[in-house]
């Protein structure tokens, strides 16, 4: 009997050791199991800021003359904008850009034979930035009235922005997180498990596109400024532990 006792003890020790190792492996395996899902949230919103840009120019052989004419145009434009209800604090005139113009002459073989200076082109630009969207939209359509005053002004299409993007992004992240949890719980429940805590969460791309448009999403994040009505969306990739 004494001869079998050491053997029995060794066998029991092996069994206990294997049981401990098996449970440790099982624990490690189960705790490493995860469910990866991507939550999505989006919302429609209306821009609350409009920006309109225009450019005007004057040409003259004399720089001083061109500059004086351009500054007079600036005065007329400012008065016109004021008459349309745009206050001075919403108007910004940029510095003047000066370009020297030359006429190149060529011979019959296409070789340049001379260059003649033909004068200066001075270009100014004006920007209107306002929360009164309807007023500025109307202005952008009527700005060609300045042509009747002898001002060559090029009008750009209005751009639309939203000044509360940070708040919007935080709200979307909360909704995307909730969406990811619902998706993960559905997968876990249908697989006979239960959802644990978050192992890792990575925010995806924040996109702003025109509402009801077929605008393509961008890898770096689309930022639409053309449409007044917009749609913001965000994705959130989350890895959940499985119990």
Total number of residues shown for the chain: 243
Question: What pLDDT, on the 0 to 100 scale, is given for residue 168?
Answer: 96
Q: What is the DSSP string of 129-164?
A: EES-HHHHHHHHHHGGGGGGGT--EEEPPPEEE-TT
**Confidence band of 27 (pLDDT split at 50, 70, 90):** very low
Specify the higher pLDDT residue, 23 or 186: 186
CATH of 50-159, one of 3.30.70.2970, 3.40.50.300, 3.30.360.10, 3.90.1150.10: 3.30.70.2970
Q: What is the pLDDT of residues 98-130, one digit of tens each?
A: 999 999 888 787 788 888 889 999 999 999 999
pTM: 0.79
Cα-flanking dihedrals φ and ψ of residue 95, to 5°? -65, 160
Q: Would the pLDDT of 45 be above 90? A: yes
CATH homologous superfamily of 33-46+164-242: Protein of unknown function (DUF541), domain 1 (3.30.110.170)
Mean pLDDT of the chain: 87
Q: Would the pLDDT of 28 be above 50? A: no
Q: Would the pLDDT of 204 be above 60? A: yes
Residues facing residue 238 across a β-bridge: 37, 201
- The predicted model gives 205-229 an average pLDDT of 87
Domain limits, the chain: 33-46+164-242, 50-159
Q: Would the pLDDT of 224 be above 80? A: yes
């Amino acid at each position: 009997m004494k001869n079998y006792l050491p053997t029995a003890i060794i066998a029991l020790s092996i069994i206990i050791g294997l049981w401990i190792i098996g449970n440790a492996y099982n624990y490690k395996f189960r705790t490493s199991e995860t469910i990866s899902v991507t939550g999505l949230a989006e919302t429609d919103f209306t821009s609350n800021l409009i920006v309109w840009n225009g450019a005007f120019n004057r040409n003259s052989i004399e720089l001083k003359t061109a500059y004086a004419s351009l500054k007079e145009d600036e005065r007329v434009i400012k008065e016109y904008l004021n008459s349309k209800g745009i206050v001075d604090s919403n108007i910004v005139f940029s510095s003047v850009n000066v370009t020297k113009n030359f006429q190149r002459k060529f011979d019959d073989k296409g070789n340049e034979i001379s260059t003649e200076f033909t004068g200066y082109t001075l270009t100014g630009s004006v920007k209107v930035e306002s929360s009164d969207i309807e007023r500025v939209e109307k202005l952008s359509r009527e700005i060609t009235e300045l042509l009747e005053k002898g001002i060559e002004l090029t009008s750009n299409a209005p751009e639309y922005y939203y000044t509360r993007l940070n708040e919007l992004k935080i709200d979307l992240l909360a909704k995307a997180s909730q969406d990811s949890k619902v998706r993960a719980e559905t997968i876990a429940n249908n697989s006979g498990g239960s959802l644990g805590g978050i192992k890792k969460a990575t925010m995806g791309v924040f996109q702003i596109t025109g509402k009801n448009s077929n605008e393509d999403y961008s890898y770096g994040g689309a930022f639409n400024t053309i449409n007044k009505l917009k749609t913001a969306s965000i994705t959130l990739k989350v890895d959940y532990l499985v119990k």
